[in-house]
Chain A
Amino acid sequence: MPKLPERKVGIIACSGEELAEGTVARLATLKVLHDLRRGRTVTICLPLFLAGGEGDRAFARFHPTITVDGCDLRCAARGTEMYSGKPTASLVVSDLLAEAGLPAPAGRRCLNDAGERAVAVTADRLAQLVDQVLEPNDVPGDTTADRSLALSDEVPVGTCSCGSGIPVTRVAIDGRTVDVLAMALIFRQFCESGGRVDDPASADRLMATVKIYNEVPPVAEASYREAILREYKEFCAREGVR
């Protein structure tokens, strides 16, 4: 059965190379990704929102996303909102350190002791935010399941391996073009599980899965359903499914 892209908490750092606080943002993000909340979090390079494809820009619409910025310019938070989706939460390293009464870090390339402390404090705060976003019954730090960063077998070729490349299909709904996330994967899974759209209960199940990964406005639900079922029939025709 095809594996659907797994929703994790996305973390996007500004990585601001000019300032030590940017280095803190980047290293704190990596500490959460690789250590504190390994397997529960994913990241993407911020510039991919402009340099990458639609699958990259879908990042914050797919993953509940926390941004980490070094300074008040808030490039990560504002860039994410402009090009991908509104972040669920945002952190600014300089604000966090001021609140904690900690000194400003120094050494953009090689952090001083204050910088190392700032990484630890920022990473801890990030991990707390990740826990708040995740379901309450999730176990922080659980790495027993197969939770690798790979999203699926259908990740578009050429995208970065850091968590981008969510498959997106453009669908006409009510005269508008709408990006539907993970649609082909959902269809394939539905098909392989014996789903049939001529059975209303089965079609409800398909729509429920689509709604896990996509925001379907209640007022447009009927139009979405009509479009998704139409697309599914076309998918079956292409795949030779009867």
Chain B
Amino acid sequence: MNAHEQRIVVVPCSGIGKTFGSVSREAAYDVCDELRPGATRLLALSKLVLGEEEARERVRNGRTVTIDGCKLMCAAKLVAQSGGTIVREVAVLDVYRQHRDLKPDGIADLNDAGKQLARVIAEEVVKTIDDLHGSSSAGEASHA
């Protein structure tokens, strides 16, 4: 498996109507754009809705982290339906229950608490990614 294939696919839920959906998206960007850019690849859930073959292949052939904003768990369900292997299934609400001081607010513009909650989620996801990738990923992340 080459480096590209080893990248963990990160799929946020694409929620548009609730603040927790915005938190899931923010967490995914934290992971893929800041914390582990070389070890991950963001995938838009809308592609799996459409059944786009390249996106389906990416989740079928790789390992996936899903981040969902509500209990309907759209991202986890669609990755599973597409034949993907989910290595970490994050429910934003579950994390929020452990960090009630970080109450998210806003949809288009997430408040600071929401961004902090997203960061907490992102750091949990990073732990999973580092466990999977071992020391090579941690080394890469040090200059991310």
Contact = CB atoms under 8 A, between A and B. Distances in A.
The answer to whether A and B interact is: yes
Interface of A: 13-19, 22, 26-27, 29-31, 34, 43-52, 73, 75-76, 78-79, 82-83, 108-109, 158-163
A51 B78 contact: yes
Contacts of A17: 12, 14, 25, 28-29, 42-45
Interface in B42-73: 42-50, 52, 70-73
B17 A46 contact: no
A58 to B, nearest CB: 16
A18 B44 contact: yes
Interface in B69-86: 70-75, 77-78, 81
Given A17-B12, A18-B42, A160-B18, A51 B108 contact: no
22 contacts: A15-B16, A16-B46, A17-B25, A26-B16, A34-B107, A43-B16, A44-B17, A49-B49, A50-B49, A50-B77, A50-B78, A51-B77, A51-B78, A52-B72, A52-B74, A73-B47, A75-B52, A79-B49, A158-B71, A160-B15, A160-B72, A162-B15
Contacts of A13: 16
B44 A45 contact: no
B13 interface: yes
B104 interface: no
Nearest to B26: A109
Nearest to B76: A51
A79 B50 contact: yes
Contacts of B14: 15, 17, 45-47
Contacts of A83: 49
A30 B108 contact: yes
Contacts of B16: 13, 15, 26, 29-30, 43-45, 162
Contacts of B28: 17
B50 A47 contact: no
Contacts of A19: 44
The 9 closest A-B pairs by CB, nearest first: A162-B17, A47-B74, A75-B46, A51-B74, A16-B44, A79-B49, A51-B77, A75-B50, A109-B29
A30 B22 CA distance: 12
Given A45-B21, A50-B49, A30 B107 contact: yes
Nearest to B34: A109
B108 A47 contact: no
B33 interface: yes
A34 B46 contact: no
B46 A47 contact: yes
Contact of A47 (B13, B25, B29, B107): B13
Given A26-B16, A45-B74, A162-B16, A34 B108 contact: yes
